[in-house]
């Protein structure tokens, strides 16, 4: 393998000398504008000492609460606990966010080394009986304390958090629970590490120009640039989405399409980066964790505090949508099969054929393809447009600030203010793929919103994607899918940037898993609105505004393969629930298990050895275990919510201010269903999604 790890600026530089604790930039008070973190000064050698010192400091803060001789009160117990460990939280946020966005082998080793320490610290709090008795004392007297809404919510969430993490267990069970948590923390890190390594391990280097038949010029140029960066001849394709996806859509070489498709679909299956055994152990440990707490399955445990409440509700939700969507999906596949046959394809359409023939079908039916649209979606214009949308809806302003330290040269930092000049947030944007960044797109926070010692801390929000990099002859041009992706993640960013509240654990995106996708998914709707598209979709060479006929085609093609896409998304949710709804480990063969689970919803031939679970980072190394259904759940919410914008006007400030005040700014101050009703005036109407997708 000729890949070279691209170390990321100063953060990635492993020095032979170590800093003293006094010099550790992770522990020093910031001297940067807005309190921004000194990413430019952080070295790998800083992390472990920072963790050790901040854990020790946090333990002292917890000890002070436990040993307080005064009677437990909200202030000396619940609020004190909320504020304890703030330095550790800072170190954790910086390290683990960078371990996803800008990692290297040394950081990955540090992650595995410090994970048991962090789990031990967490369990030492959650399983401390003296501390829990103080919390319980405050909880039991809550009605007489005169707490405001935020305080009452913090008390409730604190008590439930301890109860759900074993505080009511016997000493023996607590010890067992702590061991399970420690092992889980290591395994989930290892799972994600294996997926990244497996993704980076594959490359397809082509030296014969004939093998590039069908590929657009931008794809060829990107592959040439990739080969050059690896000191290779010809053209190199990888499993990173900007490389993999267009190859599958445009390459006329069916054999090569199959090769890269099989590599993508078998990530972390076998070999040095195998995750099959990790899946079984993670599921076993999660099931044990739930059963120690009195739940039958992990799904029961995970769903207890979400909008859906229980596995039956989720399974009925997924099955109902699957039943309604499957006939549409099968019909769409049949249409693509017929189209391929009419154009000379012989035999059954295979999975590695579907993107290729779908693209051709879409181009013929709607005269629309990515090559036609990309020139109108220059990255800089799209960025300006999402900033403008936030300004029109919420009065936010974005100003790039080069004085803010960043962790990689590709990252840009922006000061965000509201229409009154109030500082709202720092926004870091990291657009382009590299070997040190995991795939996909996400939003995260380096710091959340809170009020400490009477001073407000505004959030540091990060938006990370893997978009096509500019080349020597072309700027970064986005596919329409990437336009909707950045709108989606920017919706999460808005949720973080417009957070209000006293307690960090209740603000921003710290909401129920099946509610957190509402602010993100609703933003995708604007990409299909002509009134919005015309403000920014301009040809990068001529400056021509996107023609109305192209907009009409985008809108007309909006629900192209919507049944197929919905079924695929539902399948992810079904896989997730299948792994987490059993009272024991379901199987010793994850590949066979997944294919059995999906056999009744299959719309394409199943291929031996091709499986989602071993690279399903959302549920095995992210926070979506027994929660992947939430994407579809939130789609119902956002389809219903956006209908109000459609009714009143897509830039209507009255509606957007209501969405801001009732949803975006509220965090977890109330149950999600109450927040939604406060905005919409009623419960969501499930049929809104099927109508939006044209599946009626």
Active site residues: 489
> Measured between alpha carbons, how far is 161 from 252 in angstroms, rounded to an integer?
54
- Is beta strand 423-430 parallel, antiparallel or unpaired with respect to 397-400? unpaired
**Polymer length in residues for the chain:** 696
Measured CA to CA, the distance from residue 680 to residue 658 in angstroms comes to: 9
Q: Are 508 and 496 in contact (CB under 8 A)?
A: yes
Q: Chain centroid to CA 318: how far?
A: 21
Across the beta sheet with 442-447, the strand order is 397-400, 412-417, 423-430, 460-464, 442-447
Q: Would you list the DSSP string of 510-533?
A: -S-TTTTTHHHHGGGGGGG-HHHH
414's enclosing H/E stretch is strand 412-417
Is residue 269 a contact partner of residue 609, using CB atoms and an 8 Å limit? yes
Do 340 and 615 form a contact (C-beta atoms < 8 A)? no
- How far apart (Å, rounded) are the C-alpha atoms in residues 660 and 642? 13
Q: CB neighbours of 589 closer than 8 A, spacing ≥ 6?
A: none
Q: Three-class SS of residue 14?
A: coil
What does the alpha-carbon distance between residue 356 and residue 73 come to, in Å, rounded to a whole number?
A: 64
Can you read off the two tokens belonging to residue 296? 């039958």
Element (H, E) at 690: helix 687-692
Closest Cα partner for 235 from 263, 208, 272, 275?
208
Could you tell me the CA-to-CA distances from 408 to 103, 251, 356 in Å, in that order? 11, 33, 35
Answer yes or no: are the C-beta atoms of 493 and 443 closer than 8 Å: yes
Strands 455-457, 423-430: pairing is unpaired
To which residue do tokens 């549920």 refer? 619
Whole-angstrom Cα distance, residue 32 to residue 28? 11
């Amino acid at each position: 393998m000729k890949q070279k790890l691209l170390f990321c600026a100063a953060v990635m530089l492993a020095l032979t000398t170590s800093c003293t604790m006094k010099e550790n930039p992770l522990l020093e008070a910031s001297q940067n504008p807005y309190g921004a973190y000194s990413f430019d000064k952080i070295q790998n050698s800083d992390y472990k000492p920072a963790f050790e010192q901040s854990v020790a400091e946090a333990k002292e803060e917890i000890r002070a609460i436990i040993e307080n001789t005064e009677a437990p009160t909200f202030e000396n117990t619940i609020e004190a606990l909320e504020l304890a460990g703030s330095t550790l939280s800072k170190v954790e946020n910086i390290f683990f966010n960078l371990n996803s966005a800008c990692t290297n082998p040394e950081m990955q080793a540090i992650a595995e080394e410090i994970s048991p320490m962090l789990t031990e610290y967490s369990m030492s709090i959650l399983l401390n009986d003296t501390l829990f008795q103080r919390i319980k004392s405050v909880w039991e007297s809550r009605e007489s304390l005169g707490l405001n809404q935020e305080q009452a919510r913090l008390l409730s969430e604190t008590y439930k958090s301890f109860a759900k993490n074993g505080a009511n267990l016997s000493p023996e069970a607590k010890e067992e629970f702590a061991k399970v948590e420690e092992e889980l923390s290591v395994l989930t890190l290892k799972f994600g590490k294996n997926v990244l390594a497996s993704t980076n391990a594959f490359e397809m280097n082509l030296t014969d120009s004939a093998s590039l038949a069908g590929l657009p010029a931008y794809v060829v140029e990107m592959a040439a640039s990739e080969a050059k960066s690896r000191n290779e001849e010809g053209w190199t394709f990888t499993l990173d989405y900007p490389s993999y996806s267009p190859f599958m859509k445009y390459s006329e070489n069916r054999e090569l399409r199959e090769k890269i498709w099989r590599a993508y679909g078998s990530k972390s299956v076998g070999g040095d980066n195998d995750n099959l055994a990790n899946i079984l152990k993670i599921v076993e440990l999660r099931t044990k964790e739930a059963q120690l707490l009195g739940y039958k399955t992990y799904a029961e445990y995970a769903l207890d505090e979400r909008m859906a409440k229980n596995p039956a509700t989720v399974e009925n939700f997924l099955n109902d949508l699957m039943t309604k969507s499957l006939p549409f999906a099968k019909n769409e596949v049949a249409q693509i099969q017929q189209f391929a046959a009419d154009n000379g394809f012989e035999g059954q359409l295979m999975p590695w054929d579907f993107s290729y023939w779908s693209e051709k079908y879409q181009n013929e039916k709607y005269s629309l393809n990515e090559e036609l649209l990309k020139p109108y979606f220059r990255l800089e214009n799209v960025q300006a447009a999402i900033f403008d949308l936030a300004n029109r809806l919420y009065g936010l302003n974005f100003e790039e600030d080069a004085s803010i330290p960043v962790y990689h040269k590709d990252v840009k930092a922006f000061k965000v203010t509201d229409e009154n000049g109030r500082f709202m947030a720092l926004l870091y944007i990291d657009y382009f793929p590299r070997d040190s960044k995991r795939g996909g797109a996400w939003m995260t926070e380096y710091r959340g919103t809170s009020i400490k010692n009477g001073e407000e801390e505004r959030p540091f929000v990060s938006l990370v994607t893997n978009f096509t990099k500019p080349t020597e002859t072309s700027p970064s041009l986005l596919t329409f899918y990437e336009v909707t992706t950045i709108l989606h993640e920017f919706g999460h960013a808005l949720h973080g940037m417009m957070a209000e509240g006293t307690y960090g654990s209740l603000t921003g995106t710290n909401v129920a898993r099946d509610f957190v996708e509402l602010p993100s998914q609703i933003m995708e709707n604007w990409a299909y609105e002509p009134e919005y598209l015309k403000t920014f979709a301009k040809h990068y060479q001529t400056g021509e505004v996107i023609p109305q006929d192209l907009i009409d085609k985008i809108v007309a093609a909006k629900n192209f393969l919507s049944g197929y896409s919905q079924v695929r998304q539902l399948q992810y949710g079904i896989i997730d629930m299948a792994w987490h709804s059993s009272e024991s480990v379901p199987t010793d063969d994850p590949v066979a298990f997944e294919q059995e689970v999906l056999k009744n919803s299959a719309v394409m031939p199943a291929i031996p050895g091709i499986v989602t679970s071993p690279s399903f980072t959302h549920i095995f190394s992210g926070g979506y275990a027994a929660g992947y259904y939430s994407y579809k759940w939130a789609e119902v919410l956002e389809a219903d919510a956006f209908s109000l914008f459609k009714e009143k006007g897509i830039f209507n400030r009255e509606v957007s201010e209501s969405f801001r005040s009732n949803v975006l700014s509220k965090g977890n101050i109330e149950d999600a269903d109450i927040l939604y009703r406060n905005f919409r005036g009623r419960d969501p109407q499930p049929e809104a999604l099927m109508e939006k997708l044209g599946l009626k």
